[in-house]
Chain A
Amino acid sequence: MLSSSPKFAPYNAMKKHLLVEYLDCRRLPLTQHEGAVELHDALCEAAPQFYLHLLADQATDISHKHKVLVNLLTHVSTHDIERQRIEGILRTIPMVEALQLLTIIRDQRINRSRARELVLTFLIGHEQFPELAAIKRQRLGYLLKHVLGERTWSAVKRALANTTPEGEIFLQREVLHYAWNGDSARAREVLCFLAGVPFNPVHTALAKSLAARQDLQSGEGLPAETLHGLRGTFHRKTPLRKIRQLSASVPTTVRPDGPMAAFYKDALTNAINQPQVTTPEAESMDGPLAGLRKAVALLFKSDSIEAEKEHSIHLDISTMLSGATASLPLIDGSVAVVLDLSASMGAMGERLNHPAALALALTRLLQKRVRKVSLHQAGGTAQLAEDNLPVPQGVADIAQAIIEAARTDAQAILVITDGYENVRQGDAAQVVRGIQQLGHTIPVYQVVPQFTAAENLGQRMLGENIPVIPLAHEDGIQELLARILLTSEGENISSAGMATLEQLLTVR
């Protein structure tokens, strides 16, 4: 229920500058942004229901999420949010990450029943409670001890070790009734493991972790972090290389490409490699990449010099584009896109064509989902068009392109570039300064298509006056659309605008 009381402010109380500031700082640790704590308090007060969803925001640094969780548990404006809703959001994120979030409850000594119930229902009631315990025993134990209290935790340990009717009633009341699917035996086993009470392990993850205490070889497949901990306590003389041999392969930190970026990457890679069509499947020219195969085949059949000059691929992506944008709202705004297709956007090695493919995907998604888009391309073999795909080539005059973009009536300029501004490094920043000096308040953003979020962009920023939006996946289009929408909103964001923003920024 939306009350007129300022304590439970409706959406239209959300201020634009708060959201813009949050979007600008959310990738940095909380401590690196002056006023971040006050910003969180203001966001929380302005729209607590929206604020709740920030807990699952993939682009946000963990320190911000810690602050979100603390506010959800302690801030007066969030009291109307039911604990079950917080738990529901936590269940949408990987369990190890959720545990990392919940750890803040112990770190900040939060002792209220809301926090206690959240931790117990989420952890003990989680399907993967045993697996988590097997690899994060110490952290989990400390957290449970904190929320239950030392005396209760000691009583739980005693009750687990010595079975009595009173003890069973106690255990049931304090911990076991949270068990997943009512499986008390399973929950008891995990609690015994965490409390250090002897038991006969049935669950394989727990059995493996226990066996590794006797023989590290038995822990094969456990994460390296867990094995390092076991080695430090039980097998100090075991060489470190043994850990590397035994540990589970670390899941790749690189997310799979979205459909549009994957399609463009394939197209660009094929254009470079000049594929030989040899397999029956490829020769059939059927399937999802049929258009691409035909286009690439045509491209390299031509021997003329003119055709070489215009290395571009002709393909129809309308169906794929419609699918990729089906869940995205149409933004009634205008944006100018400066698209860098210089040779460096082709990248190399495992990143081959990634920046260009992601940049092309974002551009096409913007064109499809924003009412008016003007495109200012710099570099590339040909002009990007509906059915024409240029290949990265040459240099990119980003500064000139920004001037051209600023001549339009766009509400924002998005410069999609890897940041290697080599037609005079620093010109883009100077041009933006000039545009601002002329009284234009149009925001200019540098959008960097990253391969991983861990990339260091320190040397690749166009200028201090151009905020950087690093995007490692085409679903980053949602942030771009949100920023465009925000430019057309007044300082008090409308209810409709807020609803769209919530859709854009909180849906995983």
Chain B
Amino acid sequence: MTIQDASIQAAFSGLLSDVRPGQIQSWGLLDVAALFSTEGRPDYSSFVSPLQHLKLVRVPTYGTLILENEAKSGRVIAPMHIGFFQVGAQNHATSRVLLLEAGQTLTATDCFCIQASQGGLLQEAQQRFIILPLSLRKTALAKRGEVGYARLWDDIDTHNRRHGIARGGHLERFLRPNFHRLMIFRHAFEVLPKQVGAAYFVAGNLVGVEVTPNAAYWADVGPILNIYCYGAAALLGGRHQLQPERQQVDLEGLADMNDLARRLEDARRQESMERINLVEALSNLTWNNPRTKPGLHVVDLEQGEWVGQMVKDGANMLYLSLFRDVLV
């Protein structure tokens, strides 16, 4: 058992009381703390992975997506800000979390076009989908429930210019030249057995917490969040000269090999505790978190610079996506 495992097994209190922290992984500016279900959290195995079962049926008009849960049994939670791509058509992304029963077809009219200069209606999106970059998500969530396919273009334009890309509401102009940098975040972070979520840190600052119904769901969606959402945030942090917040191993006056091992453990433990304390503090803010409402329901979350949505099943958290901008 690693030091991290031993020191950070306790569950959080407050909003995140259904999960407990695990191993922290780091790469460049991005740190990712694995989250696991607590013993009291039900095994939500009836919720199937969107990567396997969520299908884009068609786009009847710009800004509207018709989605289908292809699973014969098992519900799908379409993660917030999921984007669909197709060559030669206008790519789209959703503005909020969506719930689909087995076999259900759902029409979402408050979606965004994310490729301003490309016309054409999506007929059959590639199975590989994206999650919007972190710095677009706050605005995207704020614009849920509205109609207007072009309402994210100005924000995409700003986002692209922050990355030094030519202007335009065309997300692919950011993704294409940066894809090889983003893919590093796919390889660098391992999905752990039984992991259901993660807390994300850029340059030591907590920027997002994601929780999914079960480990299979996370194994599919986690890497996509790493690449497109939080990987993009880490790239942006790099452009703004942010530096990794690392607790260095103190090598001054090193006595022997045991001493070296101990100092390594100490540095890691201290860094882990700093990260986990940030999550604990977030969890204990005052949230709109109804404990008594029965059944499956979506809860909007907002607290200071933090926004997000949560899907609850009675008192338990099924899905959570809570985030803030990396540059605040």
Contacts and interface: CB of A to CB of B under 8 A. Distances in A.
Nearest to A436: B251
Interface in B183-207: 184, 187-193
A399 interface: yes
Contacts, number: 81
- Tell me which of A394, A406, A418 has the highest count of chain B C-beta atoms within 10 A of its own C-beta: A394
Contacts of B248: 430
B264 to A, nearest CB: 6
Given A395-B190, A423-B25, 19 more contacts: A343-B190, A347-B187, A395-B25, A400-B2, A403-B261, A420-B188, A422-B188, A423-B23, A424-B271, A425-B28, A425-B244, A426-B246, A427-B268, A431-B264, A433-B251, A434-B254, A438-B256, A438-B257, A459-B184
A424 B268 contact: yes
Which 3 pairs of residues, A with B, have the shortest CB-CB distance?
Answer: A422-B25, A343-B190, A434-B260
A344 B246 CA distance: 23
A435 B259 CA distance: 11
B44 interface: no
Interface of B: 2, 4, 23-28, 184, 187-193, 244, 246, 248-249, 251, 254, 256-257, 260-261, 263-264, 268, 271
Contacts of A399: 264
A394 B25 CA distance: 11
A342 interface: yes
A111 B318 CA distance: 79
Contact of B257 (A342, A397, A406, A423): A406
A342 B26 contact: no
Contact of A438 (B24, B25, B187, B260): B260
A437 B256 CA distance: 10
Contacts of B2: 397, 400, 423
B181 to A, nearest CB: 9
Contact of A422 (B190, B246, B264): B190
Contact of A394 (B190, B257, B268): B190
25 contacts: A344-B190, A379-B190, A394-B190, A394-B192, A395-B190, A399-B264, A400-B261, A400-B264, A403-B257, A403-B260, A422-B188, A422-B189, A423-B24, A423-B268, A424-B24, A424-B26, A424-B268, A425-B188, A427-B264, A434-B254, A434-B260, A435-B260, A437-B254, A438-B256, A459-B184
A437 B251 contact: yes
A393 interface: yes
A403 B187 contact: no
Contacts of A427: 249, 264, 268
Interface of A: 342-344, 347, 379, 393-395, 397, 399-400, 403, 406-407, 418, 420, 422-427, 430-431, 433-435, 437-438, 459
A403 B2 CA distance: 14
Given A403-B261, A406-B257, A424-B268, A430 B249 contact: yes
A406 B258 CA distance: 11
A431 B260 contact: yes
Contacts of A347: 187
A303 to B, nearest CB: 16
B187 A394 contact: no
A470 to B, nearest CB: 16
Contacts of A420: 27, 187-188
Given A343-B190, A394-B193, A431 B27 contact: no
Contacts of B190: 342-344, 379, 393-395, 422
B210 to A, nearest CB: 18
Contacts of A400: 2, 261, 264
Contacts of B260: 403, 431, 434-435, 438
A344 B183 CA distance: 12
A431 B187 contact: no
B50 to A, nearest CB: 19
A438 B257 CA distance: 8
A342 B192 CA distance: 10
Given A403-B260, A438-B256, A438-B260, A430 B28 contact: no
B251 to A, nearest CB: 5
A397 B26 CA distance: 12
